[in-house]
Amino acid sequence: MSVEGFSFEVLGEDGPARVGRLTTPHAVVETPVFMPVGTQATVKSLSPTEVAATGARLILANTYHLMLRPSADLVARLGGVQRFMAWSHAVLTDSGGYQVFSLAKLRQISDDGVVFRSHLDGSKHALTPERAMQVQALLGSDIAMALDECPAGGAPQPDVERAMRRTSLWAARCIATPGPVGQARFGIVQGGSDEALRLAHLAEISAMDFDGIALGGFSVGEPIEVMYGLLEVLGPKLPPDRPRYLMGVGKPIDLLRAVGSGLDMFDCVLPTRNARNGQALTWGGRVNMRQMRHREDEAPLDAQCECPTCKGYSRAYIRHLVHAGEMLGARLLTEHNLSFYAALMREARLAILERRYAKFARDVEARMIERDEVGQT
């Protein structure tokens, strides 16, 4: 790697699982790591200071959304995304590739790039590989993702192969686009649920001069066991000297499985979205704070958790806030959920260094499945 201020080193391994240290111009990040999602330069319901207090040192922001509002040029004039949002740690920006998938009805795609019709006002915006990198340069993130095409889960093989070809074409154009000093670039592997296609595209993207490699196109409709099986195959085959990023995943058990397959970095809206829906994610599984059983419960959300929410508030009070629609309920649950994800990754790192990761993951997964109450009445 030749990016100034960016480095990655592996500190310990236990089978495929590994502990690493990712250094960027704004932070030193211990891996495996979960990145809270801050789509519009904000992690929903928390201030940057509160996000940092959960243990986060790397968050994700969205190229497409910030390009439309307030505009990348404005963010650049105001000092870049970190200064703009008063976040003193590291930021990874996605490229808009997920919106190629999620906003399919509002875009036209070709080998040249994507033309979106804004979901805000209907105006047209072109997002080529070059433009995606230019926008991320203006945002000033520590890590910029290459533009990719993500096919839906279960897409026909010709569609998956076209997405692979286009992702590779765009990856080469992203690398050829000049970037700012200190900004690393990650490439993205596609290939749907086909192991042979995934391995072929992994070899192709890994051969390019990216600073990290991501697995895209998971958690988009494929059966969960299919994802787990592919991660077991793909994880150990990712370049060992570069960070390995699984995009858009996911549930705590998904993270445990992925860490066991050798993945280093994760992001997902689940902990913050679930918090706004009244759900706590704990060492004992998901807890639905809308349920009547918590109405007089003086216990914390999670007795094992050291976050301010668990230290200061009862389930009864949080259930009251959620039931009343008070914004503090979402704030406290978000603070807890992000703290829990940080603790899950911290304990995973310790288990790897002590070479007991497989047992750790099995024990935690068993507790979560056994006590998950979200579907209960």
Does residue 376 fall inside a structural domain?
no
Cis before 239? omega within 30: no
Query: Is the per-residue pLDDT at 48 higher than 70?
Result: yes
User: Of 268, 291, 310, which residue sits at a domain end?
Assistant: 268
Domain count, the chain: 2
Q: How far is CA 256 from CA 58, 114, 163, 330, in A?
A: 19, 35, 28, 25
Are 84 and 170 contained in the same domain? yes
Residues 6+ apart with CB under 8 A from 204: 164, 168
Are 288 and 262 contained in the same domain? no
Question: Could you tell me the residue range of the domain that residue 79 belongs to?
Answer: 7-268
Are 256 and 363 contained in the same domain? no
Helix, strand or coil for residue 93?
Answer: strand
Are 203 and 252 contained in the same domain? yes
Are 211 and 63 contained in the same domain? yes
Are 49 and 188 contained in the same domain? yes
What is the pLDDT, as a whole number, of residue 104?
Answer: 87
For the stretch 221-252, pLDDT in tens is: 999 999 999 999 999 999 999 999 999 999 99
- Catalytic amino acids? 94, 267
Does residue 2 fall inside a structural domain?
no
Residue 35 near residue 95, CB atoms below 8 Å = no
Are 192 and 300 contained in the same domain? no
Query: Is the per-residue pLDDT at 33 higher than 50?
Result: yes
* CB neighbours of residue 80 within 10 Å: 18
What is the pLDDT, as a whole number, of residue 377?
Answer: 37
Residue 100 near residue 109, CB atoms below 8 Å = yes
Query: Is the per-residue pLDDT at 16 higher than 80?
Result: yes
Are 239 and 288 contained in the same domain? no
Are 299 and 192 contained in the same domain? no
Residues 6+ apart with CB under 8 A from 196: none
DSSP annotation string for 111-161: TTEEEEEPTTT--EEEE-HHHHHHHHHHHT-SEEEPP---PPTT--HHHHH
For the stretch 278-318, pLDDT in tens is: 999 999 999 999 999 999 999 999 999 999 999 999 999 99
- Mean pLDDT computed over every residue of the chain: 96
Are 164 and 313 contained in the same domain? no
Residue 106 near residue 117, CB atoms below 8 Å = yes
Does residue 101 fall inside a structural domain?
yes
Are 103 and 230 contained in the same domain? yes
Residue 245 near residue 303, CB atoms below 8 Å = no
Does residue 330 fall inside a structural domain?
yes
User: Of 212, 241, 268, which residue sits at a domain end?
Assistant: 268
pTM beyond cutoff 0.85: yes
- Of 303, 368, 364, the closest CA to residue 336 belongs to 303
Does residue 377 fall inside a structural domain?
no
Token representation of residue 29: 């990040």
User: Which bin fits 325, alpha (ψ -120 to 50), beta or left (φ > 0)?
Assistant: left
- The CA distance from 271 to 284, in Å, is 15
CATH of the domain at 35: 3.20.20.105
Does residue 1 fall inside a structural domain?
no
